[in-house]
Structure 1
Amino acid sequence: MNAKTILLVEDNPDDEELTLLAFEQNHISNAITVARDGVEALDLLFGPDGQGGSIDPAVILLDLKLPKVDGLEVLRRIRGDERTRFLPVVILTSSREEQDLIDSYSLGCNSYVRKPVNFAEFLGAVRQLGLYWLLLNEQPSGR
């Protein structure tokens, strides 16, 4: 794969480790920046002063149940800012709540993936996410 950066927003250390391991085992060698809460994710994207963040990811893998600022609010702010409104955002969550699914799409997520419990299934899901969002997906120029 190429050098496009992935922003993983995940507060659970076990899920973070499994996701990173799944990327490694699928030979997805892109740089991965991890934010462990919503505030950290927003700071990485927009900077603490809102003037500009330190990363420009190719895709954001966003958990919903985050401390400080939840994933839906992070998504709302991403879609509400001209600089990030076209960034691909994949909700990667263990939530089984139908309302989370509805709210995520209503706020403009590009995809909603429930984390499989089985590691082999999770490996396959990460492989598919990496192939699609990092290799096949085309984004508007100038974003």
Structure 2
Amino acid sequence: MSDSSSHPRRPADLLLIEDNPGDARLVEEALRDCPNANRLHIVSDGDEALDFLYRRGDHGTAPRPDLVLLDWNIPRTSGENVLTEVKADPDLKHIPVTVLTGSKDDGDVRRSYEKHANACLHKAVEPGEFMDTIEVYTDFWLSVAKLPTGEEGS
């Protein structure tokens, strides 16, 4: 097995789409010690998420995120519709999108995969467990998985 530490990566940009300030804070705290995830961008609804991803309005200079953490139940444009739009766009579909849900409904999980989510994480009730989940998630995506580098067409 190769040692991923021998291949340093640039710091990653993560986009968190989360309307619950407490959950956003837990993700922020979980990422604080992650050496490859020191640029966390947080938006609180689906419309703002799409503005960030398409670099519109106040997000005209936003970076292209390396990973997206998407709350399934967000205001305005729903998480499901954000995921559908991202995965239908040739310039965005390569970005791994992980759906975060507190729902116990298996239908939400099934729909997220049908819409081409790369993963679905359940929001643990216990803050420490939720933070552990985020740490394992970011370790996998930023240390183990191979992500595309740079932007197409830039």
TM-score (norm 1): 0.89
1:57 aligned onto 2:77: no
List gaps (5 residues or longer) in structure 2: 1-8
1:69 aligned onto 2:81: no
Q: Could you say which residue in structure 1 is the equivalent of 2:39?
A: 31
Q: Could you say which residue in structure 2 is the equivalent of 1:7?
A: 15
Whole-Å separation in 2 of the counterparts to 1:54 and 1:45: 8
Matches within 5 A, 1:42-121: 42-48=50-56, 54-121=62-129
List gaps (5 residues or longer) in structure 1: none
TM-score (norm 2): 0.83
Change (3 A) 1:53 1:75: farther
Aligned residues: 139
Change (3 A) 1:69 1:53: farther
Q: CA deviation at 1:135?
A: 1.6
Per-residue CA deviation, residues 85-112 of structure 1 (Å, 9 max, x unaligned), is 1110011121111111111000000000
Change (3 A) 1:121 1:34: same
- What is the one-letter code of the residue matched to 1:82? P
Whole-Å separation in 1 of the counterparts to 2:131 and 2:115: 27
Change (3 A) 1:82 1:53: farther
- What is the one-letter code of the residue matched to 2:91? R
Whole-Å separation in 1 of the counterparts to 2:50 and 2:121: 21
SS in 1 for 2:42: strand
- CA RMSD, 1 decimal: 1.8
